Structure 1
């Protein structure tokens, strides 16, 4: 009886080891954490969202709509591009709340940033969510969300220097953010093969104009 029980335990141990080893080798891609701290109406943030960010989704994507805004002692938010930016930042925050999945809210926010003049007629028609987002924006929820993003942005270590501000696994890319695909592929540590984009021309380094917007006292670039 003791021998039989011992054999069962040995078999179970080998079975667990096999399953663990098989999962480790096959592995699921370990997502790289990509955070984008941005502001609406900023042309450089818009370019990154519209042209660059779309390249890669094998990541744990987080959008933080606050950018270079400021919060006063009475919790009033002042935005670099005026009230319209504050509105669209709040709309972005409400979209993230409405669709927690980045693969859903990203496309809505991208739609807004591609056409900030006519987004209401086009983006709601394409992606829906109109009532939920409008209710969020017109209530205290939008302000609560923005203040939450303000805290995340203002508490960054090291501090944000400009927008868009991109971090990979918590580390800022600084002037290399336009080459974020290559940086993310470098940070990837999954056991499975690299995402296809890492083997494409999208991951190749390119010489591009450094895009960054600092926050001035007069709210201008």
Structure 2
């Protein structure tokens, strides 16, 4: 009899724990997937990273966002797996540095700021970004080895080249897998619209909805024959 009572108590405890856990999960914000496919020396990608994407972390929007940066852009991969970048070897290097930063700091809140630092000054980034954010040894080891070129970049190449619908230009921004096309600069409003979580909307969504809609001028970099 005592054993039966104990079993019932254990069962009830597990039941209560299950219900409580479900309530906690239900209260958490459901993340909206925001993907940015970019290349390091594209001026339009730089502008989006520096001036637009920063809104994610300067507001409370980041709490409902699953951000993914994909540094490949309009690069091409030959049959022997050689990568050629639209803006030359330096862009290939900076794409790989970005990939290594993502590998070093998987948390977007950390690797975004380093990548933004690089994109703000692509000529002198080494003297400032490592000093500000650290990670020099890990990133240099990643870049100088085979990891960045044979695995990370080719992985990002596969993700970019297999997009459906296909990427038309960079920056290419998707929300939950759907491209924003010419509305990519208005990604905050699109993120707020896509959010389906039970937690309250981020405060920035209220200000975004009340703001006047601006006329967007499409600024992109096309990849055909490596011309803008």
TM-score using structure 1 length? 0.87
Inter-partner Cα distance in structure 2 for 1:192 and 1:107: 27
Task: From the superposition, tell whether residues 26 and 57 of structure 1 become closer, same or farther in structure 2 (CA, over 3 Å).
Answer: farther
Q: CA deviation at 1:66?
A: 0.2
Instruction: Give the secondary structure class of the aligned counterpart of 1:62.
Output: strand
Task: From the superposition, tell whether residues 5 and 53 of structure 1 become closer, same or farther in structure 2 (CA, over 3 Å).
Answer: same
> C-alpha root-mean-square deviation of aligned residues, in Å?
3.0
Q: CA deviation at 1:25?
A: 9.4
Matched, 1:79 2:85: yes
> Which stretch shows the higher mean deviation, 197-206 or 111-120?
197-206
Q: Is the 8 A contact 1:182 1:198 kept in 2?
A: yes
> Which stretch shows the higher mean deviation, 135-144 or 14-23?
14-23
Q: Is the 8 A contact 2:35 2:70 kept in 1?
A: yes
Instruction: Give the secondary structure class of the aligned counterpart of 1:134.
Output: helix
Inter-partner Cα distance in structure 2 for 1:16 and 1:9: 11
Cα deviation, 1:1-25, whole Å, max 9, x if unaligned, reads 7999699689939963994598269
Q: CA deviation at 1:170?
A: 1.0
Cα deviation, 1:172-212, whole Å, max 9, x if unaligned, reads 11111111000000111111110111112487463244334
Per the alignment, residue 218 of structure 2 pairs with 211
Inter-partner Cα distance in structure 2 for 1:180 and 1:113: 20
Matched, 1:135 2:136: no
Q: Is the 8 A contact 1:55 1:202 kept in 2?
A: no
Structure 2 runs not aligned, ≥5 long: 60-65
Task: From the superposition, tell whether residues 92 and 7 of structure 1 become closer, same or farther in structure 2 (CA, over 3 Å).
Answer: closer
Q: Is the 8 A contact 2:183 2:216 kept in 1?
A: no
